Structure 1
Amino acid sequence: MATCRGIDVSNNQGAQDWMAWKKQGLTFAFAKASEGEHTHDSRFATHIKGIKGAGLVPGAYHFAWPNQSATVEAANYISAVKPYAGRGFIHWLDLERYNDGRNYQGRTAAQIKAYAAAWVAAVQKAFPSQRVGIYTSASDIAAGHVPSGVPLWFPSYPGSSADTYAEAEKHTRPAPSGRSVTLWQFTSDPAGPARIDQSLAYMSASAFRAWAGVEAPAYEPFPGTSWFTTGRRSPIVAAMHDRLVEVGCGRYQSSKDKDVIGPGDKASYEAWQRECGYTGSAATWPPGKTTWDRLQVPKS
């Protein structure tokens, strides 16, 4: 199974040589941005600038307090990352219980799940073309704290049998409570001097970059008008959707399954046709070659 490698950092780690990490084969790196309703991580700006400067896929995470307001916490996170969250930025809710339970105190499983769903929705609304997922444990998943339909970054530590990337890559992909995980954090205390959380993503480096949106997928040549009338499933549809959002036509938002043509995609494309100067029947679905070619992602 194809994988790629990454790490995550917080104010517990000092300055990093991010180019050195990249040369060691890393594809992505995430930094803690915020916690609760008001706290920002003191090293976030330094970390994220270095991550982006090295050309790694960047991301950030927010440590959750489900017994506080999801709306306020999402706003706290958004304010921390907004200056840095360009194309391909990945957002994570760190949903884990403190050892003494203070951040879960007084909340039922249903309330924690509702908090997580609300936080994800608020951050997705703020960054509609970017990935938003949840970092969480097997116990949280088993307890029903985690909404469905979100990418999962899963921590689980086999110990010395998976102390390096090479060892972790030989392990079976985790499936806590039958859930599929996108990333596996396989150690928080690796052998050697690094002492930095290490993770695998279950896709190749190029696929991960495309998934994150760092490099928007290239379209195929215009497939003909009839191709768009079948509601078909295709990565081309997801690329079209992402590009429509990028050019400002994403206010309609199609279904969560972006690989399938839905009403939102049709409405968004018609908005794009109008922006290209078409009116009346010329601005209705399906796409034509002229507007399709104008929507192409610039190759640089």
Structure 2
Amino acid sequence: MNFKSFSAFVLAAASLVSASPIEKRSSIPGIDVSNWQGSINWSTVKANGAQFVYIKATEGTTYLDPNFSNNYVGATNAGIYRGGYHFAHPDVSSGATQANYFLAHGGGWSSDGRTLPGALDIEYNPSGATCYGLSASAMVSWIKDFSNTYYSKTGVYPGTSNDMIYTTTDWWQTCTGNSASFASTNPLWIARYSSSVGTLPAGWSYETFWQYADSGTNPGDQDIFNGDAAGLKRLSLG
């Protein structure tokens, strides 16, 4: 192979790598749960390999998950990293109002090495308009209001981020106009029930968590942390 053809080969190879980056994906499993799973044996969950859990704490400004405390204490006692999540209803109150409600009822964070940053579950409306009647710009403003409030009260800043954002690519594209405004400040928890994460929302080059199935060995939805054990520890330390 002469220099000219070798150079062409290198450029072609670089182009392929750029277009389809190789992902190093760990196999650290976890779950997310709510009261729908009922009573959970957390020792069994840990024995089955789960190393982290996100637990539903709140929804809107009127709902408290009745199993949050039991799940949180159970996961803690089993030695599982744990964090709370809030199911958003952008049509009923401001982002700040819902962030404060979440923080007051289980969504807090401390750098104890066991607590994951709180997560904002922002997705399809279960009982009305897909985008809750908000325009894309209004939705982006609502999410910023929630995130800024959460950060101001907790100071959680793992890397360059505050609360976790849970969503699907389809909803994000539809309801935020595929905003790239959060990729540098919020870790992404993507939901896609498939063999791969697929296309991510704009701005994010990788996901932190991937919810890949709604059932499995352990109760609840099945998740994977995109990193190693040391990375999961760093996330909990902020």
For the residues of structure 2 that align with 1:157 and 1:82, how far apart are their CA atoms? 26
Equivalent of 1:139 in 166, 170, 182: 170
Partner of 1:23: 47
Q: TM-score, normalised by structure 2?
A: 0.76
Between the aligned partners of 2:147 and 2:80, the Cα distance in structure 1 is 23
Question: Cα RMSD over matched residues?
Answer: 2.3
CA gap 1:201/1:82 in 2 versus in 1, 3 angstroms: closer
Counterpart-to-counterpart distance in 1, 2:77 and 2:129: 37
The answer to whether residue 134 in structure 2 is matched with residue 98 in structure 1 is: no
Tell me by how many angstroms 1:188 deviates: 0.9
2:234 and 2:109 mapped to 1: Cα distance? Answer: 19
Q: Alignment partner of 1:81: what SS?
A: coil
Q: CA deviation at 1:157?
A: 0.7
Aligned partners of 1:43, 1:102: CA distance in 2, in Å? Answer: 28
Stretch of structure 1 that moved more, 48-57 or 79-88: 79-88
Contact 2:131 2:175 in 1 (8 A): no
Tell me the equivalent position of 2:214. 188
Question: Computing the radius of gyration over CA atoms, which structure comes out larger, 1 or 2?
Answer: 1
Cα distance, 1:123 vs structure 2: 1.2
1:127 matches 2:154? yes
Write the letter of the residue equivalent to 2:231: A
Give the SS at the match of 2:37.
coil
Return structure 1 stretches of 4+ with deviation > 4 angstroms: 82-86
Cα distance, 1:84 vs. partner? 7.6
Match of 1:66 among 68, 90, 110: 90
Note the alpha carbon deviations across 1:265-295, whole angstroms, 9 max, x for none. Answer: xxxxxxxxxxxxxxxxxxxxxxxxxxxxxxx
The answer (yes or no) to whether the contact 2:33–2:219 under 8 Å persists in 1 is: no
Deviation at 1:54, TM superposition (A): 1.2
1:77, 1:85 → 2: CA distance? 15
Contact 1:61 1:93 in 2 (8 A): yes
Match of 1:43 among 67, 71, 78: 67
Amino acid at match of 1:187: A
Q: Give the Å deviation of 1:199.
A: 0.3
Distance 1:7 1:20, change over 3 A: same
The equivalent residue for 2:30 is 6
Does the 8 Å contact 1:65/1:104 carry over to 2? no
The amino acid of 1:155's aligned partner reads A
- Consecutive unaligned residues of structure 2, counting only runs of 5 or more, are 1-23
State the secondary structure of the residue aligned to 1:107.
coil
**SS of 2:70's equivalent?**
helix
2:227 is paired with a residue whose SS is coil
Residue 117 of structure 1: how far off its partner (Å): 1.2
Deviation at 1:174, TM superposition (A): 3.7
- What is the deviation of 1:86? 5.8
Deviation at residue 99 of structure 1 after TM alignment: 4.1
2:117/2:156 contact within 8 Å kept: no
State the match for 1:151 in structure 2. Answer: 187
Q: Which runs of 5+ in 1 are unaligned?
A: 163-170, 214-241, 243-300
CA shift in 2, pair 1:85/1:101, >3 Å: farther
Q: Where in structure 2 are the equivalents of 1:1-300 lying within 5 Å?
A: 1=24, 2-67=26-91, 68-81=93-106, 87=112, 88-102=115-129, 104-129=131-156, 131-143=162-174, 145=176, 147-148=181-182, 149=184, 150-158=186-194, 162=195, 171=196, 173-177=197-201, 179=204, 180-190=206-216, 194=218, 196-213=220-237
Matching residue's letter, 2:102: Y
Q: CA deviation at 1:23?
A: 1.8
